[in-house]
Chains A and B, each alone.
Chain A
């Protein structure tokens, strides 16, 4: 596709359940980022991949959050034992090199934990 694709666009889950959010970056982009945007806030950095490896996961809030990018393209953000406070829009961005060049954002996945 032409842009960054995130699926699903909306996800409603019950507290305590496990969820996976998917990001398809622009083809050829080696850098991939996950951000979380809570209501009324700016995006908050979660994790950065360069290729297949997580170059910086310092933004992950706790060990319930995990992300993978096994083939250096598609990435999955995984949240275990979801809590109501995890409700937010999860944004993915990709870039040819890194955020300090132009990065392209997907439209996000709106996660609601009930």
Chain B
């Protein structure tokens, strides 16, 4: 069965600083990988996804993520965070070849310091 680990429950970053949120997955083959963001009172929004090809994926709001097969990781990065980036971030994995539901990590709560 697939699983996702987000080792950091909370991360605090100063506004304007760079950000990296960690995600490790367990899956028997190369999975589909996703990052979602959840702001208070808002639904989950897709930031970016990896299916195949270039392992560095660009997303919305200036986010990017890099798939590293050797490390089973899909870390999310942003060069300079804004106060509006404060939210809960979820990494998720999906099985190839199917339209089944995703398996989500427990999330990382991002706090932005002024």
Residues of B within 8 A of A48 (CB): 99-101
Determine, out of B13-21, B40-48, B70-78, B79-87, the stretch whose residues face the partner at the interface: B40-48
Task: For B104, give its contact among A42, A46, A106, A108 (CB under 8 Å).
Answer: A42
Interface string of B20-41 (1 = CB under 8 A from A): 0000000000001000100001
Residues of A within 8 A of B36 (CB): 105
Residues of B within 8 A of A62 (CB): none
CA distance A41 to B92 in the complex (A): 12
Q: Which residue of B lies closest to A50 (CB)?
A: B99
- Size of chain A's interface in residues, with CB distance under 8 A? 32
Residues of A within 8 A of B4 (CB): 42
Contact, CB under 8 Å: A100 / B101 = no
How near does chain B come to A19, taking the closest CB pair, in angstroms? 20
Contact, CB under 8 Å: B106 / A42 = yes
Interface string of B91-114 (1 = CB under 8 A from A): 010101011111111110000000
Q: Which residue of A lies closest to B88 (CB)?
A: A42
Contact, CB under 8 Å: B99 / A55 = yes
Residues of B within 8 A of A13 (CB): none
Is A99 on the interface with B (CB-CB < 8 A)? yes
How near does chain B come to A1, taking the closest CB pair, in angstroms? 13
Contact, CB under 8 Å: A108 / B43 = yes
Contact, CB under 8 Å: A107 / B104 = no
Which among A48, A100, A102, A103 has the highest number of chain B CB atoms within 10 Å? Answer: A100
Given A41-B106, A42-B105, A43-B104, are A97 and B99 also a contact pair (CB < 8 Å)? yes
Q: Which 10 A-B pairs have the closest CB atoms?
A: A98-B99, A45-B101, A42-B104, A105-B43, A105-B44, A107-B43, A43-B104, A100-B32, A42-B106, A42-B90
User: Can you sample 29 A-B contacts with CB below 8 Å?
Assistant: A35-B104, A40-B107, A41-B106, A42-B92, A42-B104, A43-B90, A43-B102, A43-B104, A44-B104, A46-B101, A48-B100, A50-B99, A55-B99, A91-B43, A93-B44, A98-B98, A98-B99, A98-B100, A99-B94, A99-B99, A99-B100, A99-B101, A99-B102, A100-B32, A100-B51, A100-B94, A104-B43, A105-B36, A107-B42
